[in-house]
Amino acid sequence: MRCPFCSNPDTQVKDSRPSQDNTSIRRRRICTDCGGRFTTFERVQLRELMVVKKNNRRVPFDRDKLMRSVQIALRKRQVDPDRVERMVNGIVRQLESSGEGDIPSESIGHLVMEGLRGLDTVAFVRFASVYKNFREAKDFEAFVGELSGEIPVGKDED
């Protein structure tokens, strides 16, 4: 692990213990060059997951990328960060325990949609707008109409 202060690759672990939520290991480290102290969190990875994109390109699964996309959808929303962490951890566990090494990107998107639907409906719609590639305002109207079970705005009831 590189030192964040001087980029020295030689650091020593001074303390190691499970994190509070038991999903990672918290390590206190010290740099052998500059003496800087810092903390890292390391997660156990059950299996190597590959994401299969729509164009059949395969890329390694990146939990941080998943978390960033969820946080973008949740931007300026009042959602407890622990709930977000639990949701992302649940998605990762589902993917790792699926028995599959290759996961279609659509499957990941579907799991995120399910998680956000229970977490925050505005974030759910935001994520859906990217995931489902909304092009116009009427795409939002139709989706929100389906979501609420109502007739989309601008449509007359017959």
For residue 106, give both structure tokens. 């659509």
At residue 45 the predicted structure's pLDDT band, cuts being 50, 70 and 90, is low
Among the residues of the chain, which ranges form H helices? 63-73, 81-97, 105-119, 121-131, 137-148
Global pTM value = 0.65
User: What percentage of the chain has pLDDT greater than the value 70?
Assistant: 90
